[in-house]
Amino acid sequence: MELGIVSVRKDGKWMHYAININGCDYAKTLLSQITKALEKHHLTTVNVKGKSYRIREKKKAGFYDVTKQETNTD
């Protein structure tokens, strides 16, 4: 999806970029609509740092192979 936030003009070898106010207004409206839809459905985003709680729950239930070598990507 192209929002048109940036306008581009070519001048020989050079490319000139500028902020397109209309594109910014459209992006602002779109993000506002998405936010309202998320709030309406009570959806939230949670960032988890470190090992996932899902892995911890799978280990407790015996569904996770604890012999696998786990790598830390932090």
pLDDT digit string, tens, across residues 40-71 = 776 666 666 666 667 777 777 777 665 654 55
Secondary structure (3-state) at 2: coil
B/e letters for 39-64, b = 16+ CB within 10 Å, e = fewer, are eeeeeeeeeeeeeeeeeeeeeeeeee
Radius of gyration of the chain (CA): 22
Instruction: For Cα atoms 71, 56, 45, give the angle at the middle one, nearest 5 degrees.
Output: 90
Return the domain boundaries, the chain: 6-61
pLDDT digit string, tens, across residues 3-27 = 678 888 999 999 999 988 877 788 8
User: What CA–CA distance (Å, rounded) separates 27 from 31?
Assistant: 6
